[in-house]
Amino acid sequence: MAQRLRVRFLRLGSLTVVCMVLGFAGSAPGESPDETSSREARERLYDEVAREVAAIQPYGTLLKKVVRLIKPTVVHIEARQAARLGGRVIRRPIEEAGSGVVIELRGKLYVLTNRHVIDNTALEGIDVNFADGSLIHPTNVWMDPSTDVAVMRVSARGLTPARIGDSDQVEIGDFVLAMGSPFGLSHSVTYGIISAKGRRDLELGDGSIRYQDFLQTDAAINPGNSGGPLVNLRGELIGLNTAIASSSGGSEGIGFTIPINMAITVARQLVENGRTLRAYLGVSLNPNFGPAEAARLGLSLARGAHVSSVTANSPAAKAAIQREDVVIKFDGYRIEDDDHLIKVVGFTPVGKEVQVIVFRDGKLVTLTVKVVDRSRFEQE
């Protein structure tokens, strides 16, 4: 497995926004303009520009419509932890700030965000600010450390949920918009493309985010964008902006977004069960599986997940998965590496019977495994 890339959460604490006066270079006093830029030539150029702008005008109008659709669904979140002083509860200054997006699950409204935005904050310390200036507090909160997803129950009139897209259909090169509160500047919009998919080797925070499958985007996201939406040109929510790779602490064109299919799956489980349900296979994987190991086993490419051991009485053991097997496919997904298998297994419905294809002794072997609830198995 390649070395993990260390990235930053889009954290925003108490910040001071510094306004900078920019100097623009121009002609020195008394310097004459370019003699070739006659008035007639400039007028012709203005006409050419106007015609070309008219040709792309519908595209610009589309972006404006998408922004109008998504803006009412986006919230600015401020989290304050409380402290007691002389018997009184004192609300500290803002310790964390970020963004969120309103979603609808089974007819009820929630705010979807990142766990790290509101972690260790009581309900009364969480301010949810809407585009119209209104402010409410959530009535309930659920969090999942393994994905950095959090969902808050909110109750107020006139809230607008975002339309949920399908992140499985996202392709590299798709145009996207990000909206959030970079540096506290709420409802800021940036634009870019999907730069890559399936980023799973990210070193985030304390390392508790085990299930990774990030979309990468060059749409500018900065501290304060955490939990805000990434949307496609149909105005559909396709991701939850979470982290950046940056040497400066600001946007350098490498942002990471939790795919909305993953985030919604987690949110539904948290709301319906109070916890996430993770499927369990029962194998240990070789994180150093590379070309040398693949060649030793008879594989031309180091793709798949190399099994280093199998837990006794686990679903994998009952399905006859063996040490040294390389998992090539799981439930129809072509497995890229160990992190990919961990993610795919973790989001397989508990109790589902799936087909597994492994490479063993120079052949492909097809097996059937029934995954179980990880928490139940680990308690046994």
Active site residues: 116, 148, 226
Helices (H), 169-275: 260-273
Closest CA to 180 of 287, 42, 77: 77
The CA-to-CA distance between both ends of the chain, in Å, stands at: 31
Q: 226, 257 in Cβ contact below 8 A?
A: no
**What's at 350, amino acid-wise?**
V
Q: Read out DSSP for 55-96?
A: HHHHHHHHHHHHHHHHGGGEEEEEE--EEEETTEEEEPSP-E
Q: Give dist(CA 25, CA 351) in Å, integer.
A: 67
What's the chain's length in residues? Answer: 380
**What's at 129, amino acid-wise?**
N
Q: 93, 81 in Cβ contact below 8 A?
A: no
Residues near 58 by beta carbon (within 8 Å), at least 6 away in sequence:
none
